[in-house]
A and B are shown apart, each in its own frame.
Chain A
Amino acid sequence: KNQVEQSPQSLIILEGKNCTLQCNYTVSPFSNLRWYKQDTGRGPVSLTIMTFSENTKSNGRYTATLDADTKQSSLHITASQLSDSASYICVVRKADSSYKLIFGSGTRLLVRP
């Protein structure tokens, strides 16, 4: 079982609508959680980082939440644009000496006009 699970696997929404992507993790010990955006054919780019003590963080139209007790994070996209079409990847970093990054398999978002 993957230590970072994302849902849904894929999502289609109309331009202008909101959506929420989910990430559940079992990684321990936990250091931080990042959401990355990967456009087709390109490398992932970080959107936001959440540490243990942070509950909510916004970056423009992106808002990430973290519940460290239930080990759940969400990424909410407001007023979606066509350029939001991409894969969104949840990445959890271990707090041990390895600093290993554990990747979720991503949510593929398609925004239609």
Chain B
Amino acid sequence: NAGVMQNPRHLVRRRGQEARLRCSPMKGHSHVYWYRQLPEEGLKFMVYLQKENIIDESGMPKERFSAEFPKEGPSILRIQQVVRGDSAAYFCASSPTGAQTEAFFGQGTRLTVV
């Protein structure tokens, strides 16, 4: 059972382009969380999804950012018209259903906007 897989590991985009970040949860995991980490700062919650549903998107900017977790395939975090301030590491975590279960993290996608 592979761990949480994120790709790409590194992504460079010019201002105004779109960035798509993918997260494949561990097998059997139906919960996905996305976090953003700016340099020298802690992890900031963005969005929490269960299969085909957004449960909590209170940490996600209202504009340019969207997330999905379709029935089949990975979870996608999409950033439209990227700006330099979007440069950060984006981490995905997944967990199975249940309060006592552990959330496992991927290695992150480092987005650089030039």
What B residues does A91 contact at CB under 8 A?
103
Sample of 11 further A-B pairs with CB below 8 A, known A104-B42, A106-B42: A32-B100, A43-B93, A98-B48, A98-B55, A100-B56, A101-B48, A101-B103, A102-B45, A103-B35, A103-B43, A103-B45
Query: Which residues of A pack against B, CB within 8 Å?
Result: 31-32, 34, 36, 41-46, 49, 51, 87, 89, 91, 93, 95, 98-106
Give the size of the chain B interface in residues (CB under 8 angstroms): 26
Task: Tell me which of B11-19, B65-73, B104-112 binds A.
Answer: B104-112
Beta-carbon contact of A31 and B99 below 8 Å: yes
Contacts of B22 in A (CB 8 A): none
Residues on A with beta carbons closer than 8 Å to the beta carbon of B100: 31-32, 49, 51
3 closest Cβ contacts across the A-B interface? A105-B42, A43-B105, A31-B99
Question: Once the chains are docked, how many angstroms separate the CA of A89 from the CA of B37?
Answer: 13
Residue B102, interface by CB 8 Å: yes
